[in-house]
Amino acid sequence: MANHFPADSCFTCPKADRFDWCRHSLSGLTAFDTNKNTKLHARKETIFQEGEPCDGIYCVQSGEIAIGKSDRDGNMVILRIADSSSTLGLSSFFAEREHTTTAIALTPTRVCHVPRSAVEILIARNPKLAYSFFKHVVAELDEMEGLYLANATTTVRQRLIHLLDSVKDRYATSNPNTGVVLKLPLSRCDLASMVATRPETISRTIQQLRSEGIADFREKFVTIPDVARLAVEARRTRTA
Amino acid sequence: MANHFPADSCFTCPKADRFDWCRHSLSGLTAFDTNKNTKLHARKETIFQEGEPCDGIYCVQSGEIAIGKSDRDGNMVILRIADSSSTLGLSSFFAEREHTTTAIALTPTRVCHVPRSAVEILIARNPKLAYSFFKHVVAELDEMEGLYLANATTTVRQRLIHLLDSVKDRYATSNPNTGVVLKLPLSRCDLASMVATRPETISRTIQQLRSEGIADFREKFVTIPDVARLAVEARRTRTA
DNA sequence: CGGGGGTTTGAGTCCGTTCAAAATACGTGG
DNA sequence: CCACGTATTTTGAACGGACTCAAACCCCCG
């Protein structure tokens, strides 16, 4: 499982620009350092799971993490993707209850776990921090409401295109004259979970997008000849 | 449109037990009273709308309100229903941006609008209040994640049954030996929006539930012979 | 009594699912 | 570094749930 080793110090946080909320709370960081816990997770490893008690928050230093939720039959959907700019577990932390989602590493990942007590100390010293966290959660709520709506009113093709559009900046590798090339940390199954459909359907939809000249999937690389077209195509229902 | 009249005083709030966050903040209520704005909305009236600037929060004193979101083509889904125990607009308020959802009265409704300045004063006097609000938003996020999952993995029939199950306490009118009777403030169109489908499908599903003896819809009244069965049936895919 | 919105019913179609098999990628050990 | 076994992905065919469009129906209100 996860690789344990001496915790990183917040004062030498490998994340160059730290976390948005962290930048403004440097004075309280010593509380963090005394209790922190840094772990390395391999691909597919679980960082935390639905139903597990939540005893703090997670700072993602590097890697890509899928945040998902599954029902009793084992069906799983990916709600969002967290990366090195993310802080995980905020909602469960503030609700003071078990995790309601599951976090799984999509790539090798380095994560700091900060226990409840340390977070509370930090907030006590800097009350505005709570607002910063609050805004994170609000953004997630807004995101979820949008996802829910999109899922109810669009086709798989539209959702997949929209997904590409929404991650095009995050995963762009190069921009030669052939168009933008994305390197997705997602398998076809992951893509399926993200647009709430089945792998078979994703496969077929990918073929369709290729034939339409919208996006060309090769392994985990996606070539998009005309990025601007994504936004347009995301609204079209008919294949025409 | 909405019926304006002198604002209610928080000190004589018609809501007997006040709001959970309000109960603990009585000392700051004078700030509210100076600026508040009480409105009466008729059925189908809009209380606030997506894109509108958010300049405070709303306390629902009485009535039922649909919180929805719609896309550019006018498709609308109902995300949740607010009633007299609800405070509206918290997420937009704390995100400090326009409303991302629309609130429409399902029944005649009495709502107090509390401007931003007043809320801020109240929070300043009682910082714990922010946590109370925070928890509200977290609960909504959790709810949305669950809805999203359910929508992706269940049929309309399952979702409708689950909906009945989840509102059975809120709308129960009587409990004669014929079973529980609910009085829903929802039209068939509203039901459709709540389970993310079309009115026609709701109509057909209702027929199905009647023939299965699960729920009998008559106008806005729903008779449920065996409430315990709802939870069971909500998991069954096959009609068998 | 005559609209008119909401609801129901019907028929046909489509998108996405399901199940099954073939093809391809991938990791692991020799 | 290659060969093999496993997992993932693709392809195919058939099915089914929900949508669409359209018409009939019904109830409420004026």
Q: Look at residues B178, B55, B163, B183 and name the one whose alpha carbon lies nearest to residue B118.
A: B55
Does B191 score more than 60 pLDDT? yes
Distance CA A22, CA A19 (A): 5
DSSP single-letter state for residue A169 = T
The alpha carbon torsion through A183, A186, A187, A189 (nearest 10 deg) reads -150
Q: How confident is the model over B57-64, as a mean pLDDT?
A: 93
Does any CB of chain A come closer than 8 Å to the CB of residue B135? yes
The H-or-E segment that residue A199 falls in is: helix A199-212
Q: Give Rg (Cα) of chain B.
A: 19
Give the pairing type, strands B56-62 and B87-88.
antiparallel
> CA nearest B77 in A: which residue?
A149
Q: Which of B:191-220 have CB within 8 Å of A?
A: 196
Per-residue pLDDT averaged across B33-61, rounded? 89
Rounded to whole angstroms, the Cα distance separating A137 from A77 reads 19
- Under the phi-then-psi rule, with left for phi > 0, alpha for psi from -120 to 50, and beta for the rest, what region is B198? beta
CB atoms within 10 A of CB A173: 11
Q: What are the residues whose beta carbons fall under 8 Å from the beta carbon of A143, sequence distance 6 or more? A: A80
Cβ pairs A/B, distance under 8 A: 104
Cα distance between residue B137 and residue A203, in whole Å: 37
For range A202-206, the mean pLDDT: 98
> How does the average pLDDT of chain A come out, rounded?
89
Q: Can you state the angle between helices B199-211 and B156-167, rounded to 10 degrees? A: 80
Q: Tell me if chain A has a CB within 8 Å of the CB of B79.
A: yes
Helix axis angle, A128-153 to A116-125, nearest 10°: 120
pLDDT greater than 60 at residue A92: yes
B77-CA/D18-C1' distance, Å: 16
Secondary element (H or E) of residue A105: strand A102-105
Is the pLDDT assigned to residue B200 strictly greater than 90?
A: yes
The label of the residue with tokens 């969002």 reads A80
Q: How far is the CA of B186 from the C1' of C17 (A)?
A: 31
Q: What distance in Å separates residue A105's CA from the closest CA in chain B?
A: 20
Give the residue with greater pLDDT, A157 vs A16. A157
Residue B122 CA distance to nucleotide D7 C1' (Å): 58
Which residues does A43 contact at the CB level (< 8 Å), separation at least 6? Answer: A105, A106, A107, A108
- A43-47, A56-60, B108-112, B126-130: range with lowest mean pLDDT: B126-130
Residues of chain B found within 8 Å of residue A151, distances taken between Cβ atoms: 148, 151-152, 196
* Percent of chain A residues topping a pLDDT of 90: 67
- The pLDDT value recorded for residue B78 is 98
Q: Does A145 touch chain B (CB under 8 A)?
A: yes
Kindly tell me if the per-residue pLDDT of B229 is higher than 90.
Answer: yes
Which of A83-87, A236-240, B207-211 has the highest mean predicted lDDT (pLDDT)? Answer: B207-211
Banded model confidence at residue B11, pLDDT cuts 50, 70, 90: confident
Q: What confidence score (pLDDT) does residue A37 get?
A: 83
Q: What's the burial of A21, exposed, middle or buried (CB within 10 Å: 0-12/13-18/19+)?
A: buried
B232–chain A Cβ distance below 8 A for any pair: no
Q: Are A80 and A141 contacting, i.e. CB atoms less than 8 angstroms apart?
A: no
pLDDT of residue A240: 45
B138 to chain A, any CB pair closer than 8 A? The answer is yes
Q: What is the structure's pLDDT at A45?
A: 92
Average pLDDT rounded to a whole number, residues A52-77: 94
Nearest partner of B231 among B148, B141, B166, B135, judged by Cα = B166
pLDDT at A18 over 80: no
**Percentage above 70 pLDDT, chain B:** 86
Q: Count of alpha carbons within 13 Å of B149, Cβ hemisphere only? A: 24
- pLDDT, position A125: 84
Q: Which residue is listed with tokens 């704005």?
A: B37
Cβ distance of B77 and A148 shorter than 8 Å? yes
Which of B189, B209, B197, B117 lies closest to B156, judged by CA?
B197
Each residue's pLDDT tens digit, B112-159: 998 998 889 888 888 888 889 999 999 999 999 999 999 999 999 999
Q: Which residues of chain A are within 8 Å of residue B142 when distances are taken between CB atoms?
A: 91, 95, 100
Whether A10 shows a pLDDT value over 50: the answer reads yes
pTM: 0.93
B73 and A153: CB-CB below 8 Å?
yes
Q: Residues in chain B, how many?
A: 240
User: CA B148, CA B191: separation in Å to the nearest integer?
Assistant: 16
Within chain B, residue ranges assigned H as helices are 20-23, 29-35, 90-95, 116-125, 128-153, 156-167, 188-194, 199-211, 227-233
Higher-pLDDT residue of A29 and B66 is B66
Q: Is residue A203 packed enough to be buried (19+ CB in 10 Å), middle (13-18) or exposed (0-12)?
A: middle
The answer to whether residue A16 scores a pLDDT higher than 70 is no
CA A200 to C1' D10, in angstroms, rounded, equals 8
Polymer length in residues for chain A: 240
- A65 within 8 A of A81, measured Cβ to Cβ: yes
Query: Can you say how many angstroms the Cα of residue B92 is from the centroid of all Cα atoms in its chain?
Result: 16
Residue that the structure tokens 């995980």 belong to: A88
Query: Is residue B97's pLDDT more than 60?
Result: yes
Say if the Cβ atoms of A149 and B101 lie within 8 Å.
no
pLDDT, tens digit (0-9, with 9 covering 90-100), for A119-169: 898 888 888 888 899 999 999 999 999 999 999 999 999 999 999 999 999
Tokens representing residue B15 in the block: 């809501």
Q: Which nucleotides of D are covered by protein (CB under 7 A)?
A: 8-13, 17-22, 28
- The predicted structure's pLDDT at residue B28: 64
The closest of B60, B62, B58, B65 to B119, measured between CA atoms, is B58
Query: Does the structure show a pLDDT above 90 at B76?
Result: yes
pLDDT digits (tens, 9 = 90+) for A181-200: 999 999 999 999 999 999 99
Query: pLDDT band at B26, cuts 50/70/90?
Result: low
Q: How many CB atoms lie within 10 A of CB B220?
A: 13
Judge whether A95 and A211 are in contact, CB under 8 Å: no
Please compute the mean of the pLDDT values over residues B162-180 and round it to a whole number. 86
- Rounded average pLDDT over B177-183: 84
What's the gap in Å between the CA of A178 and the closest CA on chain B? 32
Q: For residue A13, what pLDDT band results from cuts at 50, 70 and 90?
A: confident
Q: What percent of chain B has pLDDT over 90?
A: 66
Q: Which helix (H) or strand (E) holds A190?
A: helix A188-194
- Which residues, listed in sequence order, are joined to residue B66 by a DSSP beta bridge? B81, B104
Q: Which nucleotide is nearest to A200 (CA to C1')?
A: D10
Long-range contacts of B12-15 (CB under 8 A, 24+ apart): B13/B61, B14/B61, B14/B62, B14/B110, B15/B59, B15/B61, B15/B62, B15/B84
Task: Using the predicted structure, report yes or no on whether residue B238 has a pLDDT greater than 60.
Answer: no
| Interatomic CA distance for residues B186 and B78, integer angstroms | 11
Q: What is the DSSP letter of B197?
A: S
Contact A77 B196 (CB under 8 A): no
Does residue B239 surpass a pLDDT of 50?
no
Measured in degrees and rounded to the nearest 5, phi and psi for residue B165 equal: -60, -40
